[in-house]
Amino acid sequence: MNYCINFKCEKRENVQNSQFCQCCGTPLLINERYRLLKPLRSLDARTSTEIFEVDDSGTRKVMKILKENNPQLIDMFEREAFTLRLLNHPGIPKVEWDGYFTVSVNSLGNQKLHCLVMEKVEGENLEHWLTKNGKISEKVALKWLREIIEILDFLHNQKFFHRDIKPSNIMLKPDGKLALIDFGSVRGITNTYLPKILIDNVTSVFSGGYTPPEQINGQAVPQSDFYALGRTFLHLMTGQPPSEFSSSFKDSRIYWKDKAPQISKSLADFIDRLMALYPADRMQDTRAMLQYLNAKNLFIQNLILLANSRQFRRRLLATLTIILLGIFSYRIAYPLISQRYLDKGIKALKAGEDEAWGYYQKALYYNPKDSRIYNNLGFICQRQKKYSCAINNFEKSLNLDPNNYITRYNLGELYEDTGDLKNAEKQYQIVMESDSPIATNAASNLGRLLILDMRISEAIKRISEGLKKTDNPRVQAALYKNLGWAYYIQTDYKQAKVALEEAIRLYEKRADSYCLLAQVLEAEDKKQQALVKWKKCRDIKLGRTIEIKLWKTMAQQRLQDAGD
């Protein structure tokens, strides 16, 4: 049986070796080389592509045909062809350099059909395999994980990422090896890709249950492949698709482990990390993933052997005896020991977060009711962008001491980092109304949020209240900067200039004060003076807020226009 390539043909099936379609007259030998033998999925007028098994002079291959003339779909189709031509890996379908071409069909008018011929990967996809065989064991999971990660390692090193990993796009070949297919959503990691993300100019690709949140928003990154990989193996290890599981409201964590009792805690934790809500909380590269799997597996085996040895049992008994003998005397000294470890953690934080974390954990062991320890643990999590960990520790701190205003201030900054400005404002308001030394810092941050929300008069009031309560030059500089910003928005350039110059006098290393002063000078048509401030705005490194990043971009543009 030969099929007609004309998707509008009313009777596409033709007898073997016919030269033209008996219904519409379209040539059946495509590009003078290929014959369509059978569709590999149902022919559906609603889909944009068709996939056929084809004959190429006796060799069976796969042809993908784009039916629509949509420029965006053509761009994705051409990108898939270009990518597969470049890639040479046993786990990726091969495409020859002449494997992409267009075909004209008389009955379709000016429309051309875009065709891509690739290697036919024998076997069955893991979605079909799972239906017949059920959920996989830990041994199979580890083997398959390593194979797919090695394919992704090759793909990412070639500066591409897949964007559509799911069980139906992974083939189990007859030799037991896996292959990754369907590169229709592939993206190159180029110098232009990140700027496109910033302006939302990237095509969004969505597969329900497998696509990470940032990709749904058109902002996929290489770690988006890891999220989809984690969701894929959740499906394979439980036998249920991700969409059938309930999830945490805070961090979207899926509750799935009771459906996979055959999977060890160490591997389950690894899968959870791949599926973290934020890309920064996931494994960052394929090499680290492979190293983690190998090291973890060896650790588990060694731990089992150690636990079953007589030597380990004797040492454990001796240790327990010593602990029991000394527990009474140590219990009395617990608060002092806890304070000692807390002090060590504060000093160690300057050198490294891991060492400080260890000291805080020891302090917590000796005094689990000290809210300061939970605050410091939350602060480390916040610095590492582990937001659910940070919120958990800050909430524990406030449960122990609702008047720990440092914790409330840190929680406000955390809400800012996650975009929850309403709750950030609430925490800063509580801190500002207290007698805590950090109240003026909260006034500065609260003023900034009110400015961003265009509540300018209220912002000026809060900032002014803060200035009356502090003589700290850096805090005063931050408050005057925000006061100048508020006046600038009100077009009161005279008062804005006075406030911003005072902010710079108090602390010269704030980039944002110069950025804002440059804008004030521009508004007063003092272009040359503004350029001096724009240069300072660009060159000073201090500052991480979104508005500073925007102002620095403006500074770069102004200085480029001026030939600097």
- For the beta sheet containing 178-180, the strands, ordered from the edge strand earlier in sequence to the opposite edge, are 124-125, 170-172, 178-180
With cut-offs at 50, 70 and 90, classify the pLDDT of residue 68: confident
From CA 152, how far away is CA 388, in angstroms rounded? 28
Residue 234 CA to residue 245 CA, distance in Å, equals: 10
Tell me the C-alpha distance between 80 and 97, whole Å: 13
Does domain 462-564 correspond to CATH entry 3.20.130.10? no
Side chain identity at 243, as an amino acid letter? Answer: S
Residues 270-319 have pLDDT tens digits of 999 998 888 888 888 888 888 888 765 546 644 664 566 677 777 777 77
Beta bridge partners of 14: 2
Q: What CATH number matches the domain at 124-303, 3.50.50.60, 3.40.30.10, 1.10.510.10, 2.60.40.1730?
A: 1.10.510.10
Smallest CA-to-CA distance from 221 within 232, 229, 212 is with 212
Q: Within its chain, how far is the Cα of 62 from the centroid?
A: 33
Among the listed residues 438, 376, 393, 424, the one whose alpha carbon sits nearest the alpha carbon of residue 545:
424
Give me the sign of the Cα torsion angle 546, 552, 556, 562. positive
Q: Which of 45, 103, 42, 114 is closest to 76 using CA atoms?
A: 114
Cβ atoms of residues 404 and 381 within 8 Å: no
Q: With cut-offs at 50, 70 and 90, classify the pLDDT of residue 322.
A: confident
pLDDT digits (tens, 9 = 90+) for 43-63: 888 888 899 999 998 899 999
Structure tokens at 537: 């705005």
Q: Which candidate, 201, 159, 197, places its Cα nearest to that of 75?
A: 201
Paired tokens of 410: 């840190």
Domain boundaries, the chain: 2-119, 124-303, 462-564
Which pLDDT belongs to residue 392? 93
**In the prediction, which pLDDT does 311 show?**
72
> Is 158's pLDDT higher than 90?
no
What does the DSSP 8-state code read for residue 168?
A: G
Secondary structure class of 87 (helix, strand, coil)? coil
- In one-letter notation, the amino acid at residue 488 is Y
The one-letter amino acid at 415:
Y
* Candidates 1.10.3720.10, 2.40.128.30, 3.30.200.20, 3.40.50.620; CATH matching 2-119: 3.30.200.20
Average pLDDT of the residues in 391-403:
92
With left for phi above 0 and alpha for psi between -120 and 50, is residue 563 left, alpha or beta?
left
Give pLDDT tens digits for 228-282.
Answer: 999 999 999 999 998 888 776 666 778 898 999 998 888 888 999 998 888 888 8
**What mean pLDDT is reported for the chain?**
85
